[in-house]
Amino acid sequence: MESAPCPTTPRWNVDRPFLTGRFHQEIRPSSNTQTAGGVKGIASDSFRNRGSQNSVGYYHNSVQELLVIEDLLSAMVGIEGRYISIKRVRGKDCQVAFQVDASMDLALQEMAKRIFPLCENFLAISQFVELRSQFKNGLVNHAFAAALRALLLDYQAMVAQLEHQFRLGRLSIQGLWFFCQPMMGSMHALSIVIEKASANDLSGSAVLNLLQSQAKAMAGDNAVRSLLEKMTQCASGAYLRILERWVYEGVIDDPSGEFFIAENKLLQKESLTQDYDAKFWQQRYSLKDGIPSFLTSAAGTILTTGKYLNVMRECGRNVQVPISENSKLTSFGSNHHYLECIKAAYDFASGELLNLIKEKYDLMGKLRSLKRYLLLDQGDFLVHFMDIARDELLKRPDDISVEKLQSLLDLALRTTAAVADPCHEKLTCCVERSSLLNRLGTLSDLEYGMKNLLSTPEVQKPVSDGNDQTEPVSVTGLETFSLSYKVQWPLSLVISRKALTKYQLIFRFLFHCKHVNRQLCGAWQVHQVCGVRAFNKLGTTISRSSVLCRSMLKFINSLLHYLTFEVLEPNWHVMHNRLLTAKSIDEVIQHHDFFLKKCLKECLLLLPQLLKKVEKLKSICLQYAAAIQWLIPSLYIPKPETVESSSRLEKSKPRRSRHRIQELNLSPENTSVSDSVMKFEKEFNTELQSLRPILSSSSQAEPYLTHLAQCILGIGNDYIGY
């Protein structure tokens, strides 16, 4: 038999070493086909016109083979033949089945049915390519369809070569089956992919993940696995171009919404300075479901890189990551070079943004300014402000003029050392409408923290329980006054409304403690002016009051010392050192938020039961100071010459104390003064001692309270012997 050249196989198939010999078989003698020398090299053209109305079983087996090969070659490109028809599967509009004439030789039917799956897969892939090439299906589907179209062109070229061999009489049905086998696995694998993609209407990263999972599932068939990997590379080209713009420019160029990063344009950067629960930084750009599996490990880095570039673009700086020929994200592979490119882009964007915020916008300077004013690191301006704004702050919150307070604050800043601070003009004042306790109860995230910080059952009660939501009638501007700070973008990423609110909570607590201290100092001065130092005899009303005043001052000073030197100052230095070594703006935000959370916790603001006790003690101190500053001057009736020489009375000798005792009006009013002092003493002692079990139990879980307990719980010893 004469050998024949092999038809060129598609590039994605394995080459075969040979083709069947020249097909030649004489037809059995019959009345209308017999010749003397037989028929040699018969082609199907001989039978097109003759007997066209007969079924295929009418012909001899050799003729049937020619007819079925011709129909199979048509079926392989989706065209019906004379004896092979295409029927739609009932209930599945997109699925078809090939049927052969039942009168055909059974052996030929079996061979034809082996090739039918290839024909069905071709039709399914062709239909998928046509449908998924539409604009609405997205860029990944477009790229996948283009790759499939190129493969089908290669496939059709091979079918054309097989048909050419058939026309030359060199192709038998066994030879056709032989050449179809290498294509069967590939076409079947692709048909599975498109069936799943069509059934679930997949697009974008879901298509890429499907291709990758199918490639891994075909690990035992190198040819099919290589084909699926090539399809994945082709389909991911458009996706990688979207990724490249995001990590190199901070821009989402995704018209079909296929990228795994979503942009919420409703969230604006201005919300950072206005809304306590602003989600701009967390949700303006966020990860969606369906991240490509080859990018899963780097998804967070990719998201952050684009966010950093976007921040700089919002600041008016068009920063772009330097791109070299080797850094283009054109493909992904086992060498993970694309991951190195993403990491390099992240390092560049992170460093540029951090330098921008630290150098141009002076982040550390702004934080030091917040420490100076809202954490009372510089107190001279506050003393002056409290002196000149006292009358306004004594009003109810609704009656206070914020504009007047602002002008007084500006005056205090301009007349003290604060004028040297270039950031002092960003300081503003505000008056809250609720007390500190109720304000803490309205902040959901802090209330959650307060409910879970303490482990002892008796202190696991939120601040806002019961009737605490109702504001006391006596609330004044001294309890609700606070400072604020003007923060601009991009510093609002770090000093957000939430962060500034936490600064204000600490400021309000410190400010009120300062107010209590000033009132007690005023009461102490009343004792000094009235000559309390001369009364060394224990048991007298004024001496007892003097000791109580000193104990209250010790309490409030110990509390202020703890808050400033034991909590704020050391935590500030820890945060400052961490910020100097931070590598990204996210680390800066994390360190700053941790500093504020730790300060709130250690300043007792997240310990509700303990905070209530402290507030009660401060209230007793204020009531006592107000009573003493009114009662003692009303009992002391000095002679005219005594008033004129009040400064000399301060330096008088102990021998003159008897004369001063005689100057006291020993009327029955002394009894009411004594009762008042004893009442304040009892209340103060009771509340102070009630701190002991709370501090003792809390200090086991919160060691920082140990020092506070040592400072405060020793105050009650001053009353032994009274």
pLDDT digits (tens, 9 = 90+) for 259-275: 999 999 898 888 888 88
Which of 126-135, 573-582, 702-711 is predicted least confidently?
A: 702-711
* pLDDT for the residue 151: 94
Judge whether residue 349 has pLDDT over 90: yes
Q: What is the mean pLDDT of residues 273-292?
A: 87
Judge whether residue 491 has pLDDT over 90: yes
Which of 151-165, 245-259, 622-636 is predicted least confidently?
A: 622-636
* pLDDT for the residue 446: 61
Reported confidence tier of residue 663, pLDDT bands at 50, 70, 90: very low
Q: What is the mean pLDDT of residues 441-455?
A: 54
Burial category of 634 from C-beta neighbours within 10 Å (exposed 0-12, middle 13-18, buried 19 and up): exposed
The better pLDDT of the pair 697, 393 is held by 393
* pLDDT for the residue 5: 44
Judge whether residue 17 has pLDDT over 50: no
pLDDT tens per residue, range 365-420: 999 999 999 998 877 888 889 989 888 999 898 888 999 999 999 998 888 887 78
Across the chain, what does the average pLDDT equal?
79
Judge whether residue 251 has pLDDT over 70: yes
Reported confidence tier of residue 193, pLDDT bands at 50, 70, 90: very high
Reported confidence tier of residue 633, pLDDT bands at 50, 70, 90: low
Counting residues of the chain whose pLDDT is more than 70, the rounded percentage is 78
Reported confidence tier of residue 642, pLDDT bands at 50, 70, 90: very low
d(CA 505, CA 604): 11
In contact, 126 and 78? CB cutoff 8 Å: yes
* pLDDT for the residue 579: 94
Which residues in 693-722 are b (16+ Cβ under 10 Å) and which e?
ebbebbbeebebbeebbebbeebbeebeee
The better pLDDT of the pair 446, 574 is held by 574
* Closest by Cα among 25, 258, 20, 311 to 132: 258
Which of 326-335, 345-354, 530-539 is predicted least confidently?
A: 530-539
* pLDDT for the residue 690: 86
Which of 213-227, 247-261, 461-475 is predicted least confidently?
A: 461-475
Count of other CB atoms within 10 angstroms of residue 441: 20
The better pLDDT of the pair 445, 716 is held by 445
The better pLDDT of the pair 587, 541 is held by 587
List C-alpha distances in Å: 458 to 400, 469, 608, 693: 38, 20, 11, 10
Give strand pairing partners of 96: 88
Spatial neighbors of 654 by CB under 8 A, at least 6 apart, are 534, 536
Burial category of 77 from C-beta neighbours within 10 Å (exposed 0-12, middle 13-18, buried 19 and up): middle
Counting residues of the chain whose pLDDT is more than 90, the rounded percentage is 39
* pLDDT for the residue 73: 94
pTM for this entry: 0.76
What is residue 474's DSSP assignment? T
Reported confidence tier of residue 696, pLDDT bands at 50, 70, 90: confident
* pLDDT for the residue 671: 62
List C-alpha distances in Å: 668 to 657, 662, 663, 665: 22, 15, 15, 9
Reported confidence tier of residue 460, pLDDT bands at 50, 70, 90: very low
**Residues 592/594/596/601 CA torsion (nearest 10 deg):** -170
Highest mean pLDDT out of 269-273, 278-282, 599-603, 670-674: 599-603
